[in-house]
């Protein structure tokens, strides 16, 4: 199944549930194929959850939206095609509401401090280009 990825020069990884996306990428072997293709002339595009899984982990998703982990994923290690941790939808307070009233920025700052990591914040109209 994942072998078909080798036929393409550009691969677009859409959003959705990051836990399910990561689980099925690993289960199908697509993660290994994408790692291999990333070292070639293949362009990988990740949107939303697709961008998050290209980084080192989806820990930030577990921090913000643990209810999405319907499949009980325990290993949040992502594809590590970049060492940049992405937080998409940074401008969408409506998506990431919390009972305590803390802003997305407040919660992201806490996450960064607790995990000793820097997270790149992307609004819905922004992107980041990484050349390797």
The residues assigned a catalytic role are 48, 89
- 55-58 CB contacts, 8 Å cutoff, 24+ apart: 55/79, 55/80, 55/81, 55/82, 55/83, 55/84, 55/85, 55/86, 56/80, 56/82, 56/83, 56/85, 57/85, 58/18, 58/19, 58/22
Spatial separation of the C-alpha atoms in residues 82 and 128, rounded to whole Å:
11
């Amino acid at each position: 199944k994942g072998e078909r990825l080798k036929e393409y020069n550009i691969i677009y990884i859409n959003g959705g549930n990051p836990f399910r996306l990561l689980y099925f990428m690993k289960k199908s072997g697509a993660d290994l194929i994408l790692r291999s293709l990333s070292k070639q002339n293949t362009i990988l595009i990740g949107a939303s959850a697709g961008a998050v899984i290209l980084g080192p982990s989806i820990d930030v998703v577990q921090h913000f939206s643990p209810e999405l982990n319907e499949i009980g994923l325990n290993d949040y290690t992502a594809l590590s095609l970049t060492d940049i941790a992405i937080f998409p939808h940074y401008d969408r307070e409506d998506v990431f509401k919390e009972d305590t009233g803390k802003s997305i920025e407040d919660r992201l700052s806490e996450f960064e401090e607790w995990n000793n990591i820097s997270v790149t914040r992307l609004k819905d109209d922004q992107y980041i280009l990484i050349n390797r």
